[in-house]
Amino acid sequence: MESETKTSIDQIAGHDGSQITVLRFSGDISSGSRDAMLGSYETASRAQPVLLDFSKVEYINSSGIALVIQMLMEANKAGQKIAAFGLTPHFQKVFTMVGITKYASLYQDEATAKMSL
């Protein structure tokens, strides 16, 4: 059974003192996650870099990956810096295979991802 996607939005300080928006996802990411994912991204400031936290995501299906790609393409069009962390090794491999790394770098943890922005 699919678990609902939940999103929380945090503001953290970057290594240079600038503000970074962190979108923290939990549950499963699928076609039913559109509002949770894209809605949270829409509320994030376009003037700040964004970190995507997948550390509490249990499963991502192909529709969910398409939503991630859509979000990253919008950020890319806006010239916004974006990075992701907390993916399992399996989903790191999947994200790399489908080309997500063209739009966002993938990191093991928040501290490393934060340093990249």
User: 15 falls in which pLDDT band (50, 70, 90)?
Assistant: confident
- Six token digits for residue 42: 């829409």
Residue-level pLDDT at 1? 63
Burial 89-98 (b: 16+ CB within 10 A, else e): eebbeebeee
pLDDT tens-place string over residues 19-55: 999 999 999 999 999 999 999 999 887 789 999 999 9
Q: What is the DSSP string of 39-101?
A: HHHHHS-TTS-EEEEEEEEEEE-HHHHHHHHHHHHHHHHTT--EEEE---HHHHHHHHHTTGG
- Six token digits for residue 107: 């990191």
User: 94 falls in which pLDDT band (50, 70, 90)?
Assistant: very high
- State the pTM of this model: 0.94
Mean of the per-residue pLDDT values for the chain? 93
Q: Into which CATH architecture does domain 6-116 fall? A: 2-Layer Sandwich (3.30)
Residue-level pLDDT at 33? 95
